[in-house]
Chain A
Amino acid sequence: GESVGLHLPTLSVQEGDNSIINCAYSNSASDYFIWYKQESGKGPQFIIDIRSNMDKRQGQRVTVLLNKTVKHLSLQIAATQPGDSAVYFCAERGTYKYIFGTGTRLKVLA
């Protein structure tokens, strides 16, 4: 498993601005990716997914971008709201298993 430590990277964003959260994945053969949102004390919540044959996918206020060349995934949140404050992490799929990032804490400033 991964081990980064107790302090997650934090992104502070002004309410109404756009947020961009980044993730580097490890396996160039990974074919499916998910972004999760986790609020304090709760289980992770599915936000959006993307398959490796795509480079962009849009949802409601969220967009995921996939750059397979550099093994990079990003989550863009438009018009960030206070309710978006949470830890966001990406997951890459293997056979029956996922590899999860440790996450980025998003803080929305009023």
Chain B
Amino acid sequence: SQTIHQWPATLVQPVGSPLSLECTVEGTSNPNLYWYRQAAGRGLQLLFYSVGIGQISSEVPQNLSASRPQDRQFILSSKKLLLSDSGFYLCAWGLGTSGGETQYFGPGTRLLVL
């Protein structure tokens, strides 16, 4: 069966510090990978998605970036965090099929920027 991991689970960082969040998927090959941010009481905001190694599509221009160095690894980064980067970050995976793609989410990383 497939599993998705995220770490760290919780992170407290000062403004201006760098960020690296990691997501890995097990039990599947060539998944579509996604980074979302969820602010308190709001819907999921798609940040980045990737349909293959080295391929990244950005949905929201901001100070975040994403990379996919391996098939089942997705990394969310920032060189300098802003206060507004605080939130709950979710990684998701899905397999593109002609019938539709179900997205499965990881446990999330709660980021607090102070």
> A residues within 8 Å of B by Cβ?
1-8, 31-32, 34, 36, 41-46, 49, 51, 89, 91, 93, 96-98, 100-103
Give bound CA distance, A89 to B51, whole Å: 25
User: Closest residue of chain A to B105, judged by CB?
Assistant: A43
Give me the interface of B with A, judged by CB distance under 8 Å. Answer: 6, 32, 40-46, 49, 51, 57, 59-60, 90, 96, 99-108, 110
Please determine whether A6 and B41 come into contact, CB atoms closer than 8 angstroms. Answer: yes
Query: Shortest distance in angstroms between B107's beta carbon and chain A's nearest beta carbon?
Result: 5
Contact A45–B105 (Cβ < 8 Å): yes
Cβ of A7 and Cβ of B41 under 8 Å apart? yes
Whether the Cβ atoms of B90 and A51 lie closer than 8 Å is no
Q: List 12 A-B contacts (CB under 8 A).
A: A3-B42, A4-B43, A36-B105, A41-B108, A41-B110, A43-B90, A43-B106, A96-B32, A96-B101, A97-B46, A97-B49, A101-B43
Cα distance A37–B33 in the bound complex, in angstroms? 20
Q: Interface SS of chain B: helix, strand, loop or mixed? A: loop
**Residues of A with C-beta under 8 A to B99:** 32, 51
Give the interface SS of chain A, mostly helix, strand, loop or mixed: loop
Given A7-B41, A31-B100, A43-B107, 11 more pairs with CB closer than 8 A: A1-B42, A1-B43, A4-B42, A43-B90, A43-B105, A46-B102, A49-B100, A49-B102, A93-B100, A93-B101, A96-B101
Known contacts A32-B100, A97-B49; A102/B42 CB under 8 A? yes
| A41 cross-chain contacts in B, Cβ below 8 A | 108, 110
> Do residues A46 and B100 form an inter-chain contact, with CB atoms below 8 A?
no
Does B45 lie within 8 Å of A6, measured CB to CB? no
- List B contacts of A5 (CB < 8 A): 41-42
Q: Return the contact of B42 from the options A2, A43, A45, A97 (Cβ within 8 A).
A: A2
